[in-house]
Amino acid sequence: MLKALALVLMLLPVAAQAAGTDVAFNGLKTDPTLPVQVTADQLSVNQNDGTALFKGNVVVTQGSMTLAAATVQVQYGPDKKTIAKLLADGGVKLVAGTDAASSQTAEYAPETGDLLLTGDVILTQGASAISGQKLTLSLKTGLGTMDGRVTTTFTPAQPKKK
């Protein structure tokens, strides 16, 4: 009975996470002032609307964060030098530190550090995972919210063998 009570008490924070409350994703914390590097198979630039479209095996890195997708559109700021927004589509994979996420699409604003993953979102942290339809995350603070039929899978800490 005591073991069951201890397990229930240990699960309460996870249950709160599954309810759509704010959660800490410290592995996905990064410095948005670091340079952004993009590599791809193809690049199309539109000077009229200030966008660039990267296609094929696109990989975006900023600090320890790496984002991969089929396509990434870069929207430049009014000065045509700063990146206002990155819009990723097609098998989005995000890795930073010990955390990883996947989704159908991603929207990232490097200046603010705001990240929005949508469509079949799965976030893994070690042996634990959380899934939903939308993850809103601040890469400055590492705090975010998962929405849309949230499911959490976790692995309780195993006692050390003597």
**Does residue 36 sit within a domain?**
yes
**CA–CA gap between residue 94 and residue 147 (Å, rounded):** 18
**Does residue 142 sit within a domain?**
yes
Task: Write out the chain's pLDDT in tens, 162 residues.
Answer: 323 222 222 333 343 344 454 566 666 666 767 888 999 999 999 988 889 999 999 999 988 889 999 999 999 988 888 889 999 999 999 998 788 899 999 998 988 889 999 999 998 887 888 899 999 988 888 788 999 989 887 777 777 776
DSSP one-letter code for 28: G
Angle at 116 between CA 114 and CA 120, to 5 degrees: 155
**Does residue 7 sit within a domain?**
no
**Does residue 3 sit within a domain?**
no
As for how many domains the chain has, the answer is 1
Return the CATH number at 67: 2.60.450.10
Beta bridge partners of 58: 69
pTM of the model: 0.77
**CA–CA gap between residue 116 and residue 22 (Å, rounded):** 14
**Does residue 84 sit within a domain?**
yes
**Does residue 52 sit within a domain?**
yes
Give the model confidence (pLDDT) of 73-86 as tens digits: 999 988 888 889 99
Token code pair at residue 74: 């870069």
CA dist list (Å): 116 to 2, 104, 122, 136, 138: 41, 11, 13, 5, 9
Q: Which domain holds residue 27?
A: 21-153
Say whether 146 sits in a helix, a strand or coil: strand
**Does residue 5 sit within a domain?**
no
